[in-house]
Amino acid sequence: MSKKQQKSSSSKKGGTMGRWFGRFFYGGGNHLADELEEKDGDRAAAMDVEELVSPGKQILRNFLEKKLAVGALTLLVAMFIVMFIGPLMMPSYSDSYTEVTQQNIPPNMSMMSVPKELKNDIKMIDGFGSFTVGLSNAGKVYVWGPTQIGTTGIDVGQIPQEVQDARIAMVAAGIDHIVAISEEGKVYCWGNKRLGQYGTEAEAMAADGKLNPNIAYMPEILVTEGIDVSNIRKLTCGYQCSAILMNDGTLYLWGNKLTYANINTFLSISNLQDIDFTLNYVLGVNSKRESIYTGTRGLYDVVRENVSGPTTKIKDYLNGRTIESITATSSSACLLLSDGSLAFVGDFALNVKPVPALAEGEKFVQVVGGSYHYTGLTDKGNVYSWGSNVLGQTDVPGKASSGTTKLFSGAFQSYGVDEQNALTAKWGLKGYLFGTETHGADIFQRIINGGKMTMTIGAVAVIISAIIGIMIGCISGYFGGRLDILLMRVAEIFTAIPFLPLAMILSAVMGRMNLTENQRIFIIMCILGVLSWPGLARLVRGQVLVARESEYVVAAKSMGVKEVRIAFKHILPNVMSVILVNLMLSFGTCMLTESTLSYLGFGVQYPRPTWGNMLNSANNATIINTYWWQWLFTAIFLAVTTICINIVGDALRDVMDPKSSVEK
Amino acid sequence: MGKYIVKRIAYMFVVLVILSFIMFMIYSLVPSNRAYTDAMADLQAIKGSYTAEQQQERFEELYLQYQRRYGTDVENRVIRYLRWVGLYPLYDGSYNGLLQGNMGYSYQYQRPVLDVVSDPMKVTIRINIFATILALGITIPLGIHCAVKRGSRMDQAMQVGTIIGYSLPTFLISILFIWVFCSKLGWLPPSGMKTPGTNYTGWQYWKDSIYYMTLPLIVMTFCSLGGMTRYVRASMIEALSMDCIKTARAKGLREKVVIYSHAWRNALIPVVTLVVGWFLGIFSGSLVVERMFAINGMGKLMIDSLQTSDYDVVLLMQMFYVGMSLLGNLLIDIIYGLVDPRVRVSK
């Protein structure tokens, strides 16, 4: 090996370092390097004796000549850094995060991009799911954000012509439908209507020939006679339900009964003062404005002063004050009381941002709510957000507090509007770079965290297989004889076991036992490691067999060095480079095996992401086509990583193999 | 040679026994108790007419009966293993194990395992024969071509292409191909084995099944292209640098003869290893492709049985896989001797 390197290095004269730096700064052109050599000619002559380049340097130099491999290595290192530093930047990430209103959203960054025409003329903004609907004072409706509804092919962004022609007075958005009321009192709905989001009984009869008992159909009167716009107190939409509350307490309520547990009690009610939807319940304020009406006893009868803390009975807490308005999020509601203070009912997650303490004499005049956050405006014009901050909903920008007189909110966004109806500030969720998956979690975050998991599993598996393989290879190669035969037979047994089926069986057997997820993952690493050592062991054995006969080993032996010490301290370092390349390639293989196992459902299981099980959902043509973002980005990351590993590994192997470099 | 083969077969047998023992031990880790479930089921059927105490008594009786039948009435795992193989008598003194032809009973399908396995194996073999022929037919000429025209643009493109090919997991390639050919182009069906609801015979049946098999075949072929082409190329390059090639060229032989007669014969030796392994894969089927395209082959049966904990089926299939790969090793050794005269001489 050294002879050949001598030959190749003697063909180029000059200081190695000089050439390196030359290449580093001036690029790889040969003439530049030659120029440098000429300049340094004197020094080169002085260093003539030291022409011999160490194998490591030679390898490095040859490697740097391969542009593709260097590029791949850079990409790989970048990938590693992102995967291991990235998760540290996501304090709010959790494996089991699910969000029902954000499922299957395509990649976009438009969830907060209010259209230019609307920006200075905002009348109202509303949102519940992925998209947000806005209304200008001119009566024109705008929709932004991802407007495609799942696999239905419905696009709520296609506003019906009659709505565009009419002058709209009010809009509200549900999870997959929009309700608009024109100034003439006509009610328009569009979007998904499969689960009774809109449509009257007569329409359903005409279309299907039968009625669905789980649907509260839209009242006929809204379609035939329209509605008195000046008398509407509130128009609001829930998950798949909509409600119009009139000033005289009349309530029009329709939608999917299955989504709201207590919807039946509201269908025949009147005399409410306010109404809103959480994710599972309809909440009303009773006629005396002193309690929350849900139709279910005890549900929202106790309030707390802030998002956490002790609860008090609502009557005691109110103590004569009345409820001005109610704003509901997914699992809780905020009550704005007549004296400007707040009260909360319902459940809050742990560690949510509490309502800030206001200055003396300051009080809230308006509170709006998204899915998990509230935004409040005080009489001094200050704006505060509180609640969950998982998607950045409560990071209020400084300019929000200057001149804002009205607040609106989408599901995860808040908008401030000033006296002239112009937008002052917007904050919250901009969108998802890579979209969301079936449970509503951000795919980008899962890719980063899944990458960490995939790479960790691959690395640990490789380390395990390296330890076993190197030990057995060294022992077998150095000592030879019966031990060698025995160990090689064992290796042969291991290679005779079909890899994937056995790994699947082992992991299925593990699944029947009572193990925690972490233990399972560790066992998967071990399975991968234990099953993949024979190849490495053979390689090491072959290398050691060659090295055993070399002079330095003979020298060490004659000096009386212990055999074990010779095997591991003298021979092993000399065959290390070959081993490292092999480990790198098998790291790629382990990653692939892990993702195949997880993809088939025998590796790491759902809430914990890996690149394999993130692709698990892409198992039929419809999903592969409609929700392309759910597999494409993960696939790109996985493919790029393994391709880079293989390119680098291949290049290294070529570089280290003196035979192949001489041939070329 | 004869002695050598006998030695190899003996060794193979020992390995098979060791592996079957290991497999059996792994399965005995599964917390499932067939005797208990069966006794419970029987008890449910006759429950009505007994009091609680009688039920208990009856259950114990049934449980013991089933345990004795299944050979699980002893705690000793080695005895259970021997009973499974058929070398140790059951409680009643009879032998009923693998050696007696009892390959196990599938609980999912309520049939003997051999019956369960036979149909999927036919399907798997049919697909894999096509896939193997296609893959070999493409990769070997391609590998030789790349080796001969080494460093050409075509070769360089193939180098990058094949790295990509073998770096991607099969399931990813399947997803990509389904996306392109089924969703975007709409040329081929995404899954299944025949048009649903049809019952074709003869020519129509073949036409229909080829239509459905095309995409899985393309995927399987594509997956094997990367690794195999590189392998053929590498061993061909190795062979082309031999002295005998120089001699052949110096003799003035035609380039075709040099390549296909002299070099290829030498390159064949490492390639044989891969090809034999591949032919054995015909029987085991591809776990991923079969699941992806809903083909009722061996791989899908394996996954289904694992998911429904039908461990008799899994155990037998695993033993089958192991046997296949051992047989493969033996075949490789023998074929080595056939294609490489040196091996024959040295043995």
- Of B94 and A155, the structure prediction assigns the larger pLDDT to A155
The C-alpha of B193 sits at a distance from chain A's nearest C-alpha, in angstroms, of: 15
What is the pLDDT at residue A448? 92
CB contact under 8 A, A635 and B30: no
Residues paired with residue A332 on neighbouring β-strands, in sequence order: A346
The three-state (H, E, C) secondary structure of A444-492, written as one string:
HHHHHHHHHHHHHHHHHHHHHHHHHHHHHHHHHHHHCHHHHHHHHHHHH
Q: List the A311-313 sheet strands across, edge first.
A: A311-313, A302-304, A342-346, A332-337, A323-328
Amino acid identity for residue A332 in this structure: S
The string of pLDDT tens digits covering residues A224-270 is 888 888 889 889 988 889 999 988 888 888 988 888 888 888 888 88
A350 touching B, CB under 8 A? no
| Token pair belonging to B286 | 């591809």
Contact A282, A260 (CB under 8 A): yes
The answer to which of A67-81, A515-529, A532-546, B41-55 has the lowest mean pLDDT is B41-55
The C-alpha of B206 sits at a distance from chain A's nearest C-alpha, in angstroms, of: 24
What is the pLDDT at residue B345? 46
Q: How many CB pairs under 8 A join A and B?
A: 122
Report A:589-608 residues touching B (Cβ under 8 A).
592, 595-596, 599-602
A635 contact residues in B (CB cutoff 8 A): 172, 175-176
- How far CA B32 is from CA of A415, A513, B28, B301, in Å, comes to 59, 10, 8, 20
Region class of A558: left (phi > 0), else alpha (psi between -120 and 50), else beta = alpha
The C-alpha of A616 sits at a distance from chain B's nearest C-alpha, in angstroms, of: 10
A602 contact residues in B (CB cutoff 8 A): 306
Q: What SS3 state is found at B209?
A: helix
CA distance B301 to B225: 26
pLDDT average, residue stretch A28-43: 53
The C-alpha of B48 sits at a distance from chain A's nearest C-alpha, in angstroms, of: 33
The C-alpha of A643 sits at a distance from chain B's nearest C-alpha, in angstroms, of: 5
CB contact under 8 A, A513 and B29: yes
Whether the pLDDT of residue B42 is over 60: the answer is: yes
B164 touching A, CB under 8 A? yes
Phi, psi of A223 (to 5 degrees): -85, -45
CA distance B248 to A305: 95
What is the pLDDT at residue A642? 92
The C-alpha of B143 sits at a distance from chain A's nearest C-alpha, in angstroms, of: 17
Whether the pLDDT of residue A43 is over 70: the answer is: no
Residues in CB range of A602: below 8 A, 6 or more apart: A503, A504, A507, A508, A511, B306
Contact B160, B318 (CB under 8 A): no
User: In terms of CA atoms, which chain B residue is nearest residue A505?
Assistant: B306
B309 touching A, CB under 8 A? yes
Instruction: Give whichever of A420-424, B65-69, B283-287 has the largest mean pLDDT.
Output: A420-424
CA distance B276 to B150: 27
CB contact under 8 A, A646 and B166: yes
pLDDT average, residue stretch A593-617: 86
Whether the pLDDT of residue A663 is over 60: the answer is: no
From the list B26, B309, B325, the residue facing A506 with the nearest CB is B26
The string of pLDDT tens digits covering residues A326-347 is 999 888 899 888 888 888 888 8
The C-alpha of B157 sits at a distance from chain A's nearest C-alpha, in angstroms, of: 12
The C-alpha of A35 sits at a distance from chain B's nearest C-alpha, in angstroms, of: 29
What is the pLDDT at residue A640? 92
B308 touching A, CB under 8 A? no
B18 contact residues in A (CB cutoff 8 A): 493
Whether the pLDDT of residue A552 is over 90: the answer is: no
Contact A62, A56 (CB under 8 A): no
B16: number of Cβ within 10 Å: 17
CA distance A369 to B81: 66
B329 contact residues in A (CB cutoff 8 A): 492, 496
Whether the pLDDT of residue A664 is over 50: the answer is: no
What is the pLDDT at residue A4? 42
Contact A27, A20 (CB under 8 A): no
User: In terms of CA atoms, which chain B residue is nearest residue A622?
Assistant: B183
B239 touching A, CB under 8 A? no
The C-alpha of B94 sits at a distance from chain A's nearest C-alpha, in angstroms, of: 30
Whether the pLDDT of residue A77 is over 90: the answer is: yes
CB contact under 8 A, B191 and A621: yes
A348: number of Cβ within 10 Å: 18
CA distance A615 to A600: 10
Q: Which of B117, B159, B163 to mutate to test the interface with A (most CBs of A within 10 A)?
A: B163
Q: Tell me the percentage of chain B whose pLDDT exceeds 90.
A: 0
Contact B215, B189 (CB under 8 A): yes
The three-state (H, E, C) secondary structure of B221-279, written as one string:
HHHHHHHHHHHHHHHHHHHHCCHHHHHHHHCCCCHHHHHHHHHHHHHHHHHHHHHHHHH
A639 touching B, CB under 8 A? yes
Contact A422, A382 (CB under 8 A): no
The string of pLDDT tens digits covering residues B176-235 is 888 888 888 888 887 777 777 777 777 888 888 888 888 888 888 888 888 888 888 888
CB contact under 8 A, A646 and B329: no
What is the pLDDT at residue B28? 79
Whether the pLDDT of residue A294 is over 60: the answer is: yes
Report B:203-232 residues touching A (Cβ under 8 A).
none
Contact B171, B223 (CB under 8 A): no
Position A5 confidence tier, pLDDT thresholds 50, 70, 90: very low
- How far CA B191 is from CA of A269, A606, B56, B195, in Å, comes to 52, 24, 50, 10
The string of pLDDT tens digits covering residues B280-317 is 666 666 778 888 888 888 888 888 888 887 878 888 88
Whether the pLDDT of residue A45 is over 70: the answer is: no
Contact A1, A55 (CB under 8 A): yes
From the list B163, B183, B302, the residue facing A501 with the nearest CB is B302
From the list A68, A602, A624, the residue facing B175 with the nearest CB is A624
The answer to which of A526-535, A592-601, B96-105 has the lowest mean pLDDT is B96-105
Report A:446-505 residues touching B (Cβ under 8 A).
489, 492-493, 495-498, 500-502, 504-505
Whether the pLDDT of residue A36 is over 60: the answer is: no
Contact A513, B29 (CB under 8 A): yes
From the list B171, B303, B324, the residue facing A615 with the nearest CB is B171
- How far CA A427 is from CA of A99, A340, A380, A390, A398, in Å, comes to 19, 24, 20, 13, 11
Contact A318, A339 (CB under 8 A): no
Position A651 confidence tier, pLDDT thresholds 50, 70, 90: confident
CB contact under 8 A, A596 and B288: yes
What is the pLDDT at residue A8? 41
The C-alpha of B287 sits at a distance from chain A's nearest C-alpha, in angstroms, of: 8
ipTM: 0.83
Q: Give the end-to-end CA distance of chain A in Å, rounded to a whole number.
A: 16
Q: What SS3 state is found at A320?
A: coil
What is the pLDDT at residue A659? 57
Q: What SS3 state is found at A137?
A: coil
Contact B280, B325 (CB under 8 A): yes
The string of pLDDT tens digits covering residues A451-487 is 999 999 999 999 999 999 988 988 888 888 888 888 8
The string of pLDDT tens digits covering residues A494-531 is 877 777 778 777 777 777 777 788 888 888 888 888 88
| Token pair belonging to A640 | 């790029």
From the list B160, B190, B287, the residue facing A500 with the nearest CB is B287
Q: List the A168-173 sheet strands across, edge first.
A: A168-173, A177-182, A187-191
Q: Which of B172, B179, B241, B280 to mutate to test the interface with A (most CBs of A within 10 A)?
A: B172
| Token pair belonging to B22 | 């290991």
What is the pLDDT at residue A638? 92
Amino acid identity for residue A654 in this structure: D
Amino acid identity for residue A538 in this structure: R
